[in-house]
A and B are shown apart, each in its own frame.
Chain A
Amino acid sequence: MARNVAITCFLLLGATVALFRLGTGETRADFTYVNPSGIHTLDPARMSWTQDLRVALNLWEGLTSSDPKTTEPMAGAALFPPDISNDGRTYTFSIREDSIWSNSDPVTAVDFIRGWRRGMEPGTATDYQFMFTDHIVGAQEYVQWRHNGVTLLTILSHLKNGEDIDEKQATDLGKLPEFHRLAKLWMPEGAAGSIENNDVPNPAELIQKIRKAKVDWEQVHQSFFQRHVEQLDARFSEVGFEAIDHNTLRVTLTQPCPYFLDLTAFPTWLPCHKSIERLREQYAKSPLTEQGLVVFDPQWTKPGYHRNDYPGLITNGAYSLIEWKFKQRARLRVNPYYRAASEIPCKTIDMLVIDNISASIMAYEAGYVDFLPSLAVPYDHEIARLAATGLRNDFKSCHTLATYFLQFNCASERILGKPNPFLDRRVRKAFAMAVNKQAIVENVLQRGDRIAHSFVPAGLIKGYESPAGLRFDPIRARTLLAEAGYADARDLGVVEMLYVPSDDKIIQAIAHMWEKNLGVQVNLRCEESKSFAEDKANHRFMIARANWYADYYDPTTFLDCLVTGNGNNDAGYHNLTYDLRVAEAALAKEQVERMALLSQAESILVEEDLPIIPILHYAELIAIKPYIDGLQPNPRLRFSFQYVSVQK
């Protein structure tokens, strides 16, 4: 019996292992790195994670690209610099003759416009849509027009399927001028209220009216859909993108943008090969779906995807993707049509997914991996020490263009049932001056982060002078608190701080500083990141942690966040002078003047109003094997693998 059990077990063991696809015995790539969480998406219009951007910029090439050392813009798929009009608003790019897709098609102006148009479509849901709408003539109008059309068509498609609409949809509907025009056709008196007087119909009433109306929704949908499709191209032609000829591209901006060539190197601005059209979802042979969306089969980013004769992902960068296994591995191989492809030292690149960073460090130590772009482990202070003391030259620290800060709720009159003390800037200032940032950076975290006195990381953006900010001064802090009417800090009641689990050490240190230096009672509320994001966006906090990573090389990538009404202004901060300074800067003729105005604006933030307390600028620890050449630590953590060589 026992022998039988043992034999059965061994047989099963052998059979299972034999059934398991044996390793393909594939050779190791020339260069291997770890991407801890894997690729979220390879759609350049949809991506926002640093690790995704990194892969994209090795697969595609924009009109400009980033210098591997400085990350400043340099030549990409177009000649550099482009022709810029005197008023700084018109850029004319000449696409290089030797700019070629990985299937040997030449890269054309239309390919770029195809990618940009996709990025502006509501169905694409581009995170960085503002890069078009903030800068390009007609882009905002086009996006708004498309969005209204989609909202209406979505609701009409529900109605024509005999479904009811809910209050939220009715509210959206009531706000649409297109709907009011349409409603006149079947409701002689109109849909109640008129849009011109900003008199939006009551949603409940509107639902009732729609329910009662004797309308053929199928036909309403049909006619509106047709009209929208007919106008599609004409509307888009009003956007400031123009393909003058095969390889000349003209872009018209609403106002001069000194960092525009930095933007064009960003993935949102990458071109898109025409083969994607094979995967367009269609409704009644139109280019849109029933809801009016432009949708492509999201699997177009796969190298081995061939539905409808799709050739698989085609890219125009130094590498092309030849294999992508979900959360396992991606393999890149040199794009044979890329200019100077033969001179690229590393012909194949492997991106391994190892979720557990400690395990990835072991893989690195054992020699399976050449490069780790993140060393965020609980013992990172030890890694920072090894890097700083030179005991491990392969561990490096990058000063990033990113800020960790706290933000006050400046919007709500009352929080947690009490009047909000942080509406008073003296209170905010007192809290800011009671934080000993040096102690946090040097004693608590010990990672080699830089102390932040300003929101924009000081010294990293050329031509920009960050304001000095406030220094740690507990005595002055208590005076300010007393001036604000809180001589006894207990009158403030319990102050609540909202944060995420990874911040534990730093938040406890700050709470302790406030208790010690100001005498306030601090309550800590830790939330998992998704719940946190929702509470923060809805101003359900007193003080919340925050961080911001620069999207491009300009102070506005930070400063815009605190402009009144900006979608990222979670603090709900509002100061007219601040808004005015930022707006004036945008209109400034000279770059020096512009930077000075922005610096003035920032000094309102970090010296007078303090809607935020900048704490530190992150240092990102990375590991590069000593035999790897050409991989430059840089503040944006962008790494171009085409410059990497292995010196073994």
Chain B
Amino acid sequence: MIRFATGRLLGGAITIFSVYTLTFLMVIAIPGNPFQQSQHSLPAEVEQALRARYNMDNNWLYFWDFLGDAVTLDFGPSFTYNDWTCNQIIADALPVSMLIGFLAIILAVLIGVPIGVYGAVKRGSWVDSASLGVILLGISIPPFVTGSILLLLFGVTMKVLPIGGWGTVAHLPLPALTLSLPFAAYIARLMRVGMLDDLQNDFIRTAIAKGVSSHLVIWKHAFKVAFLPVLSFLGPACAQAMTGSFVVEKVFGVPGLGQHFVNAALNRDAGLVLSTVLAFSTLLVLFNIAIDLLYTKLDPRISGAAG
């Protein structure tokens, strides 16, 4: 187990370093000047002074300096937002993204599971068709459309939830719900297929023959097995929801890390791009390791194979 964990951690470190190197190469290769910020052309001497100040006059030195500092969790200044360090930006934004992502996954389970179960139980009926329809909509409508519709409905028409701003519980439901829908749809699909398979199993038939109530058969016997694929989906989904909420952040003005990452790339803000990439990739790697470790607990065959 320990060997397995250290192996995965080492692999994770290599992955993060590779991601950093690739990102760095892209940052210096793409055209565009991070220091050019307004309509005025940048005088050569001003640019030179800025490069000196940000340690950017030598790419190779910058590569190692940044990495060295990053290991000690010092990500340096943002090139575009001079008044802020990347540390401050990430410290403010990452928890927000994680919160929204986490809430979205919980909501996705609460929405997706019942839809999938009822669809499978009432197979072929209108309930099934409706659940399939909902799944299809959830997967195919992009979040910026659902987000805008929800804003219009709850913010402008009903005026029950605020638009813009951040900091109260009332700001949470809409972005979390919007972000959760595609995940909910996917979970519903997994759940439906799992249940359909499961309901044809011998032990279910036996249970029914023994006279167990259909409620108990569905929610206790069949559910237990059918839920496993959903559980294994939740790990990567969590990581994905926490790091990939850019669109939702944009629509609702949620101050998460996704928008800073995209803006930093557009601004060619090397410091902020590298630090957000490092933050995101570390998060993803850690999540995957955690899930792998969990699996070994659930299924001893994996740790046996690995070690």
Instruction: Tell me, yes or no, whether B53 is within 8 Å of chain A by CB.
Output: yes
Chain B residues, Cβ within 8 Å of A16: 99, 102-103, 106
Min distance, Cβ B255 to any Cβ of chain A, angstroms: 5
Question: Is the pair B82, A46 in contact by a Cβ cutoff of 8 Å?
Answer: yes
Chain A residues, Cβ within 8 Å of B307: none
Q: Flag the segment in A3-11, A101-109, A475-483, A505-513 that touches B.
A: A3-11
Question: Is the pair B46, A122 in contact by a Cβ cutoff of 8 Å?
Answer: yes
Question: Is the pair A570, B41 in contact by a Cβ cutoff of 8 Å?
Answer: yes
* Docked pose: A392 CA to B85 CA in angstroms: 43
Q: Flag the segment in B6-14, B148-156, B286-294 that touches A.
A: B148-156
Chain B minimum-CB-distance residue to A158: B58
Chain A residues, Cβ within 8 Å of B99: 16, 20
Question: Is the pair B163, A17 in contact by a Cβ cutoff of 8 Å?
Answer: no
* Docked pose: A77 CA to B255 CA in angstroms: 37
Question: Is the pair A295, B40 in contact by a Cβ cutoff of 8 Å?
Answer: no
Instruction: Tell me, yes or no, whether B165 is within 8 Å of chain A by CB.
Output: yes
Min distance, Cβ A225 to any Cβ of chain B, angstroms: 15
Question: Is the pair B166, A328 in contact by a Cβ cutoff of 8 Å?
Answer: yes
* Interface set, chain A 264-321, CB cutoff 8 A to B: 291, 293, 295, 298-299, 301-302
Q: Beyond A326-B88, A356-B250, A356-B253, is A9–B38 a contact (Cβ under 8 Å)?
A: no
Question: Is the pair A530, B148 in contact by a Cβ cutoff of 8 Å?
Answer: no
Instruction: Tell me, yes or no, whether B301 is within 8 Å of chain A by CB.
Output: no
> Which of A1, A39, A356, A363 touches B220 (beta carbons < 8 Å)?
A1
> Which of B42, B48, B156 touches A151 (beta carbons < 8 Å)?
B48
Instruction: Tell me, yes or no, whether B295 is within 8 Å of chain A by CB.
Output: no
Chain A residues, Cβ within 8 Å of B110: 6, 9-10, 13
Instruction: Tell me, yes or no, whether A342 is within 8 Å of chain B by CB.
Output: no
Question: Is the pair B32, A49 in contact by a Cβ cutoff of 8 Å?
Answer: no
Question: Is the pair A531, B151 in contact by a Cβ cutoff of 8 Å?
Answer: no
Q: Beyond A16-B103, A293-B53, is A2–B89 a contact (Cβ under 8 Å)?
A: no
* Docked pose: A270 CA to B82 CA in angstroms: 18
* Docked pose: A293 CA to B102 CA in angstroms: 46
Chain B residues, Cβ within 8 Å of A302: 83
Q: Beyond A358-B148, A567-B40, is A154–B82 a contact (Cβ under 8 Å)?
A: no
Instruction: Tell me, yes or no, whether B72 is within 8 Å of chain A by CB.
Output: no
Chain A minimum-CB-distance residue to B95: A20
Instruction: Tell me, yes or no, whether A245 is within 8 Å of chain B by CB.
Output: no
Min distance, Cβ B171 to any Cβ of chain A, angstroms: 8
Question: Is the pair B43, A169 in contact by a Cβ cutoff of 8 Å?
Answer: no
Q: Beyond A16-B103, A358-B148, A535-B31, is A328–B227 a contact (Cβ under 8 Å)?
A: no
Chain B minimum-CB-distance residue to A291: B52
> Which of B41, B152, B167 touches A21 (beta carbons < 8 Å)?
B167
Question: Is the pair B103, A13 in contact by a Cβ cutoff of 8 Å?
Answer: yes
* Docked pose: A568 CA to B227 CA in angstroms: 63
Chain A residues, Cβ within 8 Å of B219: 1-3
Interface digits, B247-258 against A, CB 8 Å rule (1 contact, 0 not)? 001111101000
Instruction: Tell me, yes or no, whether B109 is within 8 Å of chain A by CB.
Output: yes
> Which of B38, B45, B52, B77 touches A127 (beta carbons < 8 Å)?
B38
* Docked pose: A166 CA to B227 CA in angstroms: 61
Chain A residues, Cβ within 8 Å of B243: none
Chain B residues, Cβ within 8 Å of A6: 110
Instruction: Tell me, yes or no, whether A353 is within 8 Å of chain B by CB.
Output: yes
Chain B minimum-CB-distance residue to A402: B39
> Which of A39, A48, A150, A530 touches B33 (beta carbons < 8 Å)?
A530
Question: Is the pair A530, B268 in contact by a Cβ cutoff of 8 Å?
Answer: yes
Chain A residues, Cβ within 8 Å of B267: 530
Interface digits, B187-228 against A, CB 8 Å rule (1 contact, 0 not)? 000000000000000000000000000000001100110010
Instruction: Tell me, yes or no, whether B57 is within 8 Å of chain A by CB.
Output: yes
Instruction: Tell me, yes or no, whether A239 is within 8 Å of chain B by CB.
Output: no
Instruction: Tell me, yes or no, whether A343 is within 8 Å of chain B by CB.
Output: no
* Docked pose: A24 CA to B169 CA in angstroms: 11
Question: Is the pair A359, B81 in contact by a Cβ cutoff of 8 Å?
Answer: no
Interface-central residue, B41, B107, B259, B268, by most chain A CB under 10 Å: B41
Instruction: Tell me, yes or no, whether B61 is within 8 Å of chain A by CB.
Output: yes
Instruction: Tell me, yes or no, whether B172 is within 8 Å of chain A by CB.
Output: yes
Chain B residues, Cβ within 8 Å of A580: none
Chain B residues, Cβ within 8 Å of A172: 48
Min distance, Cβ A527 to any Cβ of chain B, angstroms: 9
Chain B minimum-CB-distance residue to A3: B219
Question: Is the pair B156, A365 in contact by a Cβ cutoff of 8 Å?
Answer: yes
Instruction: Tell me, yes or no, whether B92 is within 8 Å of chain A by CB.
Output: yes
Question: Is the pair A326, B89 in contact by a Cβ cutoff of 8 Å?
Answer: yes
Instruction: Tell me, yes or no, whether A599 is within 8 Å of chain B by CB.
Output: no
> Which of B52, B92, B227, B268 touches A5 (beta carbons < 8 Å)?
B227
Instruction: Tell me, yes or no, whether A362 is within 8 Å of chain B by CB.
Output: yes
Question: Is the pair A360, B84 in contact by a Cβ cutoff of 8 Å?
Answer: no
* Interface set, chain B 11-39, CB cutoff 8 A to A: 30-33, 35-39
Min distance, Cβ A374 to any Cβ of chain B, angstroms: 14
Chain B residues, Cβ within 8 Å of A355: 249-250, 253, 259
Question: Is the pair A531, B31 in contact by a Cβ cutoff of 8 Å?
Answer: yes
Instruction: Tell me, yes or no, whether A503 is within 8 Å of chain B by CB.
Output: no
Question: Is the pair B36, A48 in contact by a Cβ cutoff of 8 Å?
Answer: no
Chain B residues, Cβ within 8 Å of A368: 162-165
Instruction: Tell me, yes or no, whether B80 is within 8 Å of chain A by CB.
Output: yes
Instruction: Tell me, yes or no, whether A40 is within 8 Å of chain B by CB.
Output: yes
Question: Is the pair B169, A20 in contact by a Cβ cutoff of 8 Å?
Answer: yes
Chain B minimum-CB-distance residue to A150: B49
Instruction: Tell me, yes or no, whether A234 is within 8 Å of chain B by CB.
Output: no
Given A48-B39, A537-B41, A547-B39, output 10 extra A-B contacts at Cβ < 8 Å.
A17-B172, A23-B169, A127-B40, A154-B57, A169-B57, A354-B163, A355-B250, A355-B253, A528-B266, A529-B266
Closest 6 CB pairs of A and B: A530-B32, A23-B168, A48-B38, A363-B163, A122-B49, A363-B164
B interface residues (Cβ-Cβ under 8 A, vs A): 30-33, 35-43, 45-46, 48-50, 52-53, 57-58, 61, 77, 80-85, 88-89, 92-93, 99, 102-103, 106-107, 109-110, 113, 117, 148, 151-152, 155-156, 159, 162-170, 172, 219-220, 223-224, 227, 249-253, 255, 259-260, 266-268
